[in-house]
Amino acid sequence: TDADQLRTLAQAVAALPVKLTADQAQAALDLLLAALKATTDEYQLRTLAQAVADVGPVSDPESPSTAPY
């Protein structure tokens, strides 16, 4: 996997004007975490870490919210 391709893909996903559903975000995170485990390349790791941050936290719609009211 090429770091430039990963960076371009991560930027494209971050620029999407839609919000991912919890299931979509979890699927994306699962793929990103698998890719993180499979590389030791510092540029790929940095790009993948940014992509994880761009996906953001995934909340379980079944669990109660912990956000303050």
Cα torsion 19, 24, 25, 27 to 10°: value is -160
pLDDT of residue 64: 53
pTM for this prediction? 0.64
Q: How far apart are CA 32 and CA 40, in angstroms?
A: 14
Residue 24 has what pLDDT? 84
**The pLDDT value given to residue 69:** 43
Tens digit of pLDDT at every position of the chain (69 positions): 576 777 777 777 777 777 778 888 888 888 888 888 988 988 888 888 888 887 777 665 555 555 454
The 3-class secondary structure across the chain, one letter per residue, is CCHHHHHHHHHHHHHCCCCCCHHHHHHHHHHHHHHHHCCCCHHHHHHHHHHHHHHCCCCCCCCCCCCCC
Q: In this predicted structure, what is the pLDDT of residue 19?
A: 78
